[in-house]
Chain A
Amino acid sequence: MADSPIDGRFDLVDHHGQHVTEQTYRGRWMLVYFGFTNCRSVCPRTLTKLTDSLERLGELSDRIAPLYITVDPERDTPEVMRIFLENRFPRFTGLTGSDERVTAAKAAYRVFSQRGQDPADPDGYAVPHSAITYLVDPDGHYVDHFVDTADAEAIADRVRARLESAQ
């Protein structure tokens, strides 16, 4: 039988400037989403939805580390991510790093992203990316993922089921 398709490892810096790996979050569930702070539609919509899901989970959400990993490390420095998330999505911790390490994290989660021209962006580019949220258990094993069409309630229900069945 093939191994898990999602490796789940990363070696990055959080939005406080601290070095973090997937080991940093052992003992907690991770809700992992990839995006970039200049994203105008998909990321704000998904982060809003995931925040809603976490609120629906109540105290269960205390056992979850919501992580937002950038696909645009050139612009998304720790400081940029901290300001973006603390102002709008304070449940999330932003993770960034060198181009090489972000690329490795994307590969570990099988994430698609591709830098392309975007005249509407102040810097002239955007980074379209896959809009999948990953649930990783406290031992670091990928257990589920949620696609863009899953709503907040459905995500909360599936996360709750996973957490409760693991108790």
Chain B
Amino acid sequence: MRGSNLPKTITAPPFQPGVAPTPAESGEILSEDQLGHLRHFDNISRLPDNDWSGMLQRVPFQDDGATVRYQLAYASFALALTHLHRLPAAPGLFQPMLTRLIEKMLLPTVWGYWRDVSRGGGALNSYIQRDPEWDPVARENIMYSGYLQTMITLNRYLFDDRRFDAPDSIVLDTASPFWGGSSHRFTYDRESLNENLYWQLVENGYLGIACQPNCIFQICIQPSILSYRLNDFITGGARADEITAGYKRAWEEFGQLDETGHFTCFVQYDLKNPIHASDITVNAWLGTLLNMWDPALVRDRYSAFMEGELKQAGPGELFVTQPSGSIEAQLMSPMAWVAPWASEIGDQATVDGLLAYADSHLGREWRDGGLFYRRNDTAADDLGRATLVDPLSGNVMLGYSRLNIPDGLWRLYNRPLAPDHHRTPALVRVADDIDVSQAVFDRDAARLTFRVRRRTDLPLRGRSADAGTVEIGRLGGQGEWELRRGSEIISSGTGDTLVVECPTEATTFTLTKRGGDHG
């Protein structure tokens, strides 16, 4: 039996940003699946350098939309959204993961493709022939540089980590003894990276920055726009507003949407030739990101784009048929972006249906405490149901969708952190064998609530000196504090930090000023 089309019309929920509290604000606890996705991101971040186990695509050369740079980048996005909306008082869980993902992003195996792609002569720019360029950031290649920029910016914005503000702190370095010649080393810092991309945008009239030479995609500039917005939050200014206003004007020439109402995918810039894409993956990818700063347009198109795309399998299970056509379309599951898009729009019924299908039919697997979906290169089963799992979907985006909240990216873009965000009590260090399923500081009650458990079933974890513990920091402003487990006071003091031994059973702790409200 083939999957049947759903009779119902998919409609975007009304745009009501900020009406609902975040899961953190409403006291939600992460599910086992959500914890599993976080653990998988952590596992990826801890792989040895150049060990891309489970992350490689079936095609070589990192040409496709599921390649490792996208996995590293969107895992970072997922971490940012989860930290912000679900576990805001656990920087010690997220920041080390993000730093490790950035270090992977800087490995030459991630960006070395640019030496070849920069020459042009590809399917989208066959008329261009240039000398190879090594620096993956200097010009074009926003499909790498924009993501690196965003990861660096998230690290500064969310954690006030200034390591990449130092001159020459972002190092892109490679050499091969077999190739001969000199090594290739390029250094940047957060500001010079931002400036470099900004002036490329200006030079292109804000239309964007090319991925492959001369091909300016709508999608890949969006993370960079997020970076400029977060940098505006960090340093002041309104560069993101300048860029988005210029972007809107620039795309009037080509149309953000084509005559069928689908997004224009990219422009061959020197030919002034817009290339359209009707497949759902491209439209859902851009729709997800564009919700940050143009939610009206995205919501307006959501229903039309989704029309006929969703099919029902078992009860409560939805899938999206693999589109036919381009090679690119064959490499990525549309689930990779339909699920995140539905999660961003707040169409929870669709998210739940897609994840239920994935859990039953798409190779759901636990490894080393991490939850992911195993890569599968077959497009459909004998019943016509989608089975393809590309590494971006399986490692990152289905988990992203389970962790995101309605308008999660919109909130990141539009709601600056509270001025005291980096000074309020928080879990500033989390050992690698600890699961954190709740971590929030209630400003009104001056109360830190966190829920943790120690894992003893992960053979590669728990070997460090701090195993089994979390450290609460930033307690200086609390005066005399007390830590409770349930109603029992288990510690009190006036110090700025406190190390807590975590039980193997998930346990909720609260820390308040002495005699404070423990909720």
Chain A contact residues: over half helix, strand or loop, or mixed?
loop
Contact of A110 (CB < 8 Å), options: B203, B238, B242: B203
Question: CB within 8 Å of A: which residues of B?
Answer: 167-168, 187-189, 192, 195-196, 198-200, 202-206, 238, 241-242
* Residues of chain A lying within 8 A (CB to CB) of residue B202: 110-112, 130, 132
- Shortest CB-to-CB span from A149 to chain B, Å, is 7
* Residues of chain A lying within 8 A (CB to CB) of residue B196: 2, 5
* Residues of chain A lying within 8 A (CB to CB) of residue B199: 5-6, 110
* Residues of chain B lying within 8 A (CB to CB) of residue A1: 167-168, 187-189, 192
Closest to A149 in B: B242
A-B residue pairs in contact (CB < 8 Å), sample of 20: A1-B167, A1-B187, A1-B189, A2-B192, A2-B196, A5-B195, A5-B196, A5-B199, A6-B199, A110-B202, A110-B203, A111-B202, A112-B203, A114-B205, A128-B205, A132-B202, A147-B242, A148-B242, A149-B241, A149-B242
State A132–B239 Cα separation when bound (angstroms).
13
* Residues of chain B lying within 8 A (CB to CB) of residue A132: 202
* Residues of chain B lying within 8 A (CB to CB) of residue A114: 205
Contact with B along A122-133 (1 / 0, CB 8 A): 000000101010
Question: CB within 8 Å of B: which residues of A?
Answer: 1-2, 5-6, 110-112, 114, 128, 130, 132, 147-149
Q: Which of A112, A132, A149 gathers the greatest number of chain B CB atoms within 10 Å? A: A112
Closest to B237 in A: A147
State A2–B171 Cα separation when bound (angstroms).
12
State A110–B202 Cα separation when bound (angstroms).
7
Q: A1-B189, A2-B195 are in contact. Are A130 and B242 (CB under 8 A)?
A: no
Cβ contact within 8 Å between B238 and A149: yes
* Residues of chain B lying within 8 A (CB to CB) of residue A130: 202, 205
Extra 11 A-B pairs, beta carbons < 8 Å, given A6-B199, A130-B205, A132-B202? A2-B188, A2-B195, A2-B196, A5-B195, A5-B198, A110-B199, A110-B200, A112-B203, A147-B242, A148-B242, A149-B241
State A114–B253 Cα separation when bound (angstroms).
12
* Residues of chain A lying within 8 A (CB to CB) of residue B189: 1
Cβ contact within 8 Å between B192 and A111: no
State A1–B186 Cα separation when bound (angstroms).
8
- Shortest CB-to-CB span from A153 to chain B, Å, is 16
- Shortest CB-to-CB span from A127 to chain B, Å, is 12
* Residues of chain B lying within 8 A (CB to CB) of residue A112: 202-206
* Residues of chain A lying within 8 A (CB to CB) of residue B195: 2, 5
- Shortest CB-to-CB span from A160 to chain B, Å, is 18
* Residues of chain A lying within 8 A (CB to CB) of residue B242: 147-149
- Shortest CB-to-CB span from B244 to chain A, Å, is 12
Q: Which of A2, A110, A149 gathers the greatest number of chain B CB atoms within 10 Å? A: A2
Cβ contact within 8 Å between A111 and B167: no
* Residues of chain A lying within 8 A (CB to CB) of residue B168: 1
* Residues of chain B lying within 8 A (CB to CB) of residue A2: 188, 192, 195-196
- Shortest CB-to-CB span from A100 to chain B, Å, is 18
State A111–B188 Cα separation when bound (angstroms).
23
- Shortest CB-to-CB span from A82 to chain B, Å, is 29
* Residues of chain B lying within 8 A (CB to CB) of residue A110: 199-200, 202-203
State A111–B199 Cα separation when bound (angstroms).
9
Closest to B188 in A: A2
State A147–B228 Cα separation when bound (angstroms).
15
State A2–B196 Cα separation when bound (angstroms).
8
- Shortest CB-to-CB span from B276 to chain A, Å, is 22
- Shortest CB-to-CB span from A125 to chain B, Å, is 15
State A87–B334 Cα separation when bound (angstroms).
61
Closest to B166 in A: A1
- Shortest CB-to-CB span from A36 to chain B, Å, is 15
* Residues of chain B lying within 8 A (CB to CB) of residue A128: 205
Closest to A130 in B: B202
Closest to B245 in A: A149
- Shortest CB-to-CB span from B243 to chain A, Å, is 10
- Shortest CB-to-CB span from B173 to chain A, Å, is 15
State A114–B238 Cα separation when bound (angstroms).
25
State A2–B238 Cα separation when bound (angstroms).
23
Closest to A147 in B: B242
* Residues of chain A lying within 8 A (CB to CB) of residue B206: 112
